[in-house]
Chains A and B, each alone.
Chain A
Amino acid sequence: MYQLIFILALWLTVFQPEKDSLFIIVDDCGNWEEWESPFNESLQKSSTGRRFSLGKKDDSPFFFLKHFWIEENERLEELTLSYPKILAKNPLYSSELTWEDWYKLRSANKKIYFLLPSSYCSARRFDWNSEFTVYEMYIDLTLPDD
């Protein structure tokens, strides 16, 4: 019995389902704009699902968050969670992240789920029974060629 408990504890430690995931709330809503991928229609042939991007409006013209894939096996996830459950994930807030933070997150080899401004900055966030879609996205930073 003790052995079983030990194995279970070990499994939970090593294989926590959310160990390799991270949640970010995009709370500086005015700094971002969202647009649909121009390829949604043509890509439906290989894999259905909405693709879109979130871009920063400031002086980082090539800093995007992308919910985008081409083939089905590359599909990024969507989760439906209530706001309390999202908060329980110890999310980061985009307004608090520096460029260096974004850069590290970009290659952190974790699944990163985002609560979008359109959700966070709506009154629904104060309705704790509401559920939100969080989107797995990747960080697309265009670096200079030195």
Chain B
Amino acid sequence: MQEPELPQPGQTALDQTTQVRAWFEANKGSLRLPERGSNFRTESQELILPFFEKEPDWDQVHHYFFPDGREVFEFNLENKEIFIPSLGEQQQDELLMRRSIQNILFVKHPTEARYDPLIVRYYPDAENSKRDFKDINYQMIDEKWSGTVDLFTYDEHFFIGFEIEKGRILATRKVEVTGEGGRRGMGPEQLDIRCSVTTTDWIQIYFNYETKRLETITLSPTRSYSCAVGGPQGEGSGAGGNYAYLPGDSFPRAGGALGSYNPPDVPLPMLRIYIDSSITDDPRLSCIVDKLALSEFVSSIAEFTKTKGQNSPVTLILGETTKGIDGKPSNGTSTGNSDGTFTIVINKDAKALWSSLAFAKSIFHELVHVEIWRALENGGITPLPHFPANLDAFDKLYGSNENAHHSYMAEVLMPTMGRELMLLHQTHFPDEFKRFNAEVSWAYSKGVSVDFYENLFWGGMEGTKAYENFKNSSKFPNYQRDIRDLKDLLTKGCTS
């Protein structure tokens, strides 16, 4: 999914940015609670930084959509005032301040006429992760960026944080102020091997116009609990990896009543898949990827970009696929590289031979592999349904002991994969879908069912116990029929 064209501020009174601005001006007074907004320390120990009025720079905006379809406008904050986790030395702190970015997200409510704001702060680990505003946003973090992304509610209640290394989310973090003397009993989350505890001194840096110097205010220290994603605090996440702010609870339900302001759920920061020119140079293949990117399920896993220079941990290319032990190439392969990136290769013969749906199917299959790897690295947080806590144990029970990914796909994901491919066909290739339905009525008298689309995937599941069961089931002859004859009716057409 590419970033849509930016709204141009000031074009018309009704343009989108102006609407956000008008809403903000009318509502910003109700977005915080004065009686608590300036209170750094609370009994609940949640971190609430001192409130300051936020002034978005209305000319600097990213416009994108969360995977669930909600529209987001991310503006830079003009303020020279910023909170940073202190590195201990003034010079280091000033460098961190200069490379940090603080933005305000306005998440358009899907049904109501309002934009729910959140403050996002990007703290790069080092100078090589310093980015201009235009090069980073909450749904566009490149594979070379390392640092911390913290989200706060508009009135500075800490919401959720992510530790990111080279574009990959290593851990979520919660932050709370330390108790008296900085001591506190060990909570269950601290006993978890995936969690680490660090103490952080927050400082507020602002430019003093009278002295014409940067001034620093030291705030009380906080304790950060960083846990591999999926650790105990991950339990607070919503479905599909969304993080919800639920007042009155501990992390990530960070506490604090919020009056009329409901912070929006946010998904995990999204990483990008770069589509190599071997695919984008071919109008048909490019068209297929565009349509695949529109699939709700696929977009919950990945965002595609064709923009040169937009690096990503995942690259999709057309090329030679790895030959298996039998010497036979495959439709596609996905590989985890030593530098932590992934490469999906689709068999270059696809260009001339495959139907458009077959091409989409193979990318889909490989994307699921990559998402499984990512889910494993992220401690199990993924939009993939019913992802097993221990994939190897799952494979031992259901699989082949050779390919746990395929076991999980065959046992659990098959209905989802089939349904999503069917939806893609129905929604984005409507003419072919209609014609196909008419022509296969002798085989699918009530209209083509999800079985056909599952059958397109079953070829990739050989070697699993599920495939063996499938082979002995009454469905197998239909599978053979569909692969033998019905798939011939799928064409190479794709129109934007």
Contact = CB atoms under 8 A, between A and B. Distances in A.
Contacts of A66: 488
A42 interface: yes
Contacts of A99: 327-328
B483 interface: yes
A13 to B, nearest CB: 25
Interface stretch (A3-11, A86-94, A112-120, A137-145): A137-145
Contact of B484 (A53, A106, A138): A53
A107 B352 CA distance: 8
Contacts of B330: 143-146
A68 interface: yes
Contacts of B353: 106-107, 138
B329 A103 contact: yes
B352 A146 contact: no
Interface in B462-496: 462, 480, 483-485, 488-489, 491
A98 to B, nearest CB: 9
A100 interface: yes
B324 A62 contact: no
B349 A61 contact: no
Contacts of A70: 489, 491
Interface string A127-140: 00000000000101
B67 interface: no
B321 interface: yes
A100 B327 CA distance: 8
B131 interface: no
A143 B331 CA distance: 6
B366 interface: yes
Contacts of A122: none
B79 interface: no
B321 A39 contact: no
Contacts of B331: 143-146
B234 interface: no
B179 interface: no
Interface in A36-81: 37-39, 42-43, 53, 55, 61-62, 64, 66, 68, 70
Contacts of B488: 37, 39, 66, 68, 140
Contact of B489 (A39, A143, A146): A39
B485 A145 contact: no
B447 interface: no
Given A100-B327, A103-B329, A107-B349, A38 B485 contact: yes
A145 B485 CA distance: 20
A16 interface: no
Contacts of A38: 442-443, 485
A42 B332 contact: no
A140 B355 CA distance: 12
Given A144-B459, A145-B362, A109 B352 contact: yes
B247 interface: no
A37 B333 CA distance: 32
Contact of B366 (A37, A61, A145): A145
A107 B329 CA distance: 13
B347 interface: yes
Nearest to A46: B435
A103 B442 CA distance: 32
A62 B457 CA distance: 14
Nearest to A39: B439
B460 interface: yes
B403 to A, nearest CB: 9
A138 B365 CA distance: 25
B322 interface: yes
Nearest to B351: A107
Contact of A142 (B349, B352, B438, B459): B459
Instruction: Indicate the member of A53, A138, A143 with the most B CB atoms within 10 Å.
Output: A143
B459 A146 contact: no
B113 to A, nearest CB: 46
A125 B460 CA distance: 41
A107 B348 CA distance: 10
B444 to A, nearest CB: 12
A143 B352 contact: no
Interface string B343-369: 000010100110000000010011000
Nearest to A104: B349
B484 A64 contact: yes
The 4 A-B residue pairs with the shortest CB-CB distance in the complex, in nearest-first order: A145-B460, A146-B330, A107-B349, A145-B365
Given A39-B489, A70-B489, A144-B330, 11 more contacts: A37-B485, A53-B485, A70-B491, A99-B328, A103-B328, A103-B329, A106-B353, A107-B353, A138-B353, A144-B460, A145-B362
19 contacts: A37-B488, A39-B488, A39-B489, A55-B484, A62-B484, A64-B484, A66-B488, A70-B489, A99-B328, A100-B327, A103-B328, A138-B353, A140-B488, A142-B459, A144-B460, A144-B462, A146-B322, A146-B324, A146-B333
Interface of A: 37-39, 42-43, 53, 55, 61-62, 64, 66, 68, 70, 99-100, 103, 106-107, 109, 138, 140, 142-146
